Amino acid sequence: MSTATVGRLSSRERFDEASVAEDVAIFSAFTISATLWLLITTAIGLLLSFKFTYPDLATNPFLSFGRLRAIHTNGTFYGWASLALTGLAFYIAARSSGIHLRQKRLAWAALWSYNIAAVLGGITLDLGISNGSQEYREWVWWVAAFFLLAVVLSGVVVVATVMARREREIYIANWYTIGGFIFTTILGVTAAIPIYQYGLGQVAVQGFYMHNAVGMWFTFLALGVTYYSLPKLLNRPIYSYALGVLGFWTNLVFYPVIGAHHYEFSPLPWWFQTLAIVFSVGMLVPVWAGTGNFWLTMRGRWATVRRSYALPFFFVGVLYYFVGSTQGTVEAFRSLQAIWHLTNFTVGHSHLTMYGFITFIAWGGIYGLLPMATGKRPPLLLVGLHFWLAFLGVTIYVLVLSVAGTVQGITWANGDPFIASVEAAAPYWSGRAVSGTMMLLAHVIFAYNVWRMTLAPTPTATSSSPMSLAAESAHE
């Protein structure tokens, strides 16, 4: 081999090493930013839970329930979950395509845009500047524009990376993540159309936005993470590629319409409400297809699941995807909406899906993939402590609020005075605060584990480093 050839190879190796190192830096930066927002917004959520039991706690206007609640929900949605899942989507797009991440500058710009949106959103909401009482859409338009820009930039990065893939086929995980970026762009633009900002059009679009922010953004990204991570960590193929495709297209067909089931018995056309109920039943197809596919992939590997850092998080995430989504279908029926809607039950349901499903999948992806990227692993004991505090915390939280909401709804159906529903639900609010404390403690442990996986000094003799990943990538 000539000296010139050796020089070219070493130059390429240096390029591969630098490129993979930047991929790892991007993945790490998204995870660290997401973790900071998780700590901030869930600490706010814990304060809110104590306000139920102690109404005179923190009465300053900047700490009022109405302002902090919007900061909590928007921050967890667009700060924690969006950043965590986008970072995972970048890593998965590159690794499943057998190449380095494309358009890295846009990835960094997306990181800044997400964080600018979350910071400005928190400040404006705490100053009382908002888009009105529109759940998950409280940010004013110019703040939401930063978030939409981040989604578009992130989508460009993922699409550009997948377009440069080595294999002809697009892996199913990238179907879901790309679908999430495309549909959320459509969602954000539609929600900003001026004609839909008042009257019944505003009501319909609010239902469209609030439900699809969960179902076509977080659900698509979380399912994409699962379709890549589960086979990778189990070292076996996904049980059925066809079930993954079925879940993708049926989710795309049924989900966009069902937001109207949040406005049953409203002035929206009765046929539209009924259509939302029918499509909510139709959602059992993608939910059961997806969960069945994941469980059949795990079948026979339970010993591996128990010994893994990440797989228990995926197991709980898949379980609560099944339970929470099936519960959403049942909850859509008018007879049960009459009892549960606008009660504590819906708060429990939202945490069952956004926390039990989305957040657990994000944690599983981070614990499973980030150590592969950085070569640094968290302490197994602390990962286990994080898992049990979070799992028991969210389970208790959902159970106590489900009971509280049912009791509330029954008192309303009986025609009792409103204060009777408050007195009936009050005993369960202490359980809400206790379980919320357990979850926040889990998040503090997770933050330490993220530090161990990213910024902590590298142990002298451990597993993969970015350099070894560069060599792996060059030979895929």
What average pLDDT does this structure show over 88-101?
A: 94
Q: What is the pLDDT of residue 277?
A: 95
Q: What is the pLDDT of residue 389?
A: 98
Who wins on pLDDT, 165 or 30?
A: 30
CATH number at residue 127: 1.20.210.10
Q: Is the pLDDT of residue 6 over 90?
A: no
Q: Is the pLDDT of residue 18 over 80?
A: no
pLDDT in tens, 120-157: 999 999 999 998 888 888 999 999 999 999 999 999 99
pLDDT in tens, 288-318: 999 999 999 999 999 999 899 899 999 999 9
- Reference 340, options 435, 433, 264; nearest CA is 264
Q: Is the pTM of this model over 0.85?
A: yes
The average confidence (pLDDT) of the chain is 90
Does 187 lie in the same domain as 325? no
What average pLDDT does this structure show over 78-103?
A: 95
- For residue 324, being part of any structural domain is answered with yes
**Which of 194, 221, 243 represents a domain boundary (last residue)?**
194
What average pLDDT does this structure show over 107-128?
A: 96
Does 452 lie in the same domain as 307? yes
Q: What is the pLDDT of residue 470?
A: 42
Burial class for 105, CB neighbours closer than 10 Å (0-12, 13-18, 19+) = exposed
Does 462 lie in the same domain as 341? yes
Q: What is the pLDDT of residue 462?
A: 44
pLDDT in tens, 326-350: 999 999 999 999 999 999 999 999 9
Q: 464: helix, coil or strand?
A: coil
What average pLDDT does this structure show over 168-190?
A: 92
Q: What is the pLDDT of residue 8?
A: 45
Instruction: Tell me the backbone φ, ψ of residue 5, rounded to 5 degrees.
Output: -65, -40
% of residues, the chain, pLDDT over 90: 76
Instruction: Please name the helix (run of DSSP H) or strand (run of DSSP E) that holds residue 107, with its range, or none.
Output: helix 104-126
Q: Is the pLDDT of residue 167 over 90?
A: no
Instruction: Tell me the backbone φ, ψ of residue 456, rounded to 5 degrees.
Output: -65, 150
Q: What is the pLDDT of residue 193?
A: 85
Q: What is the pLDDT of residue 201?
A: 82
Does 188 lie in the same domain as 57? yes
**Which of 144, 178, 194 represents a domain boundary (last residue)?**
194
What average pLDDT does this structure show over 208-218?
A: 87
pLDDT in tens, 379-391: 999 999 999 999 9
- For residue 60, being part of any structural domain is answered with yes
Q: What is the pLDDT of residue 92?
A: 96
Q: What is the pLDDT of residue 460?
A: 54
Q: Which residue has the tokens 């004013």?
A: 140
Q: Is the pLDDT of residue 4 over 50?
A: no
- For residue 86, being part of any structural domain is answered with yes
- Reference 85, options 325, 310, 359, 444; nearest CA is 359
**Which of 194, 215, 232 represents a domain boundary (last residue)?**
194
Number of domains in the chain: 2
- Reference 279, options 203, 211, 179; nearest CA is 211
Domain of residue 43, residue span: 28-194
The sign of the CA dihedral 254, 257, 260, 264 is: negative
What average pLDDT does this structure show over 95-118?
A: 95
pLDDT in tens, 421-476: 999 999 999 999 999 999 999 999 999 999 999 999 876 544 444 434 443 443 33
What average pLDDT does this structure show over 112-116?
A: 97
3-state secondary structure labels for all residues of 20-85: HHHHHHHHHHHHHHHHHHHHHHHHHHHHHHHHHHCCCCCCCHHHCHHHHHHHHHHHHHHHHHHHHH
- For residue 352, being part of any structural domain is answered with yes
Q: What is the pLDDT of residue 363?
A: 98
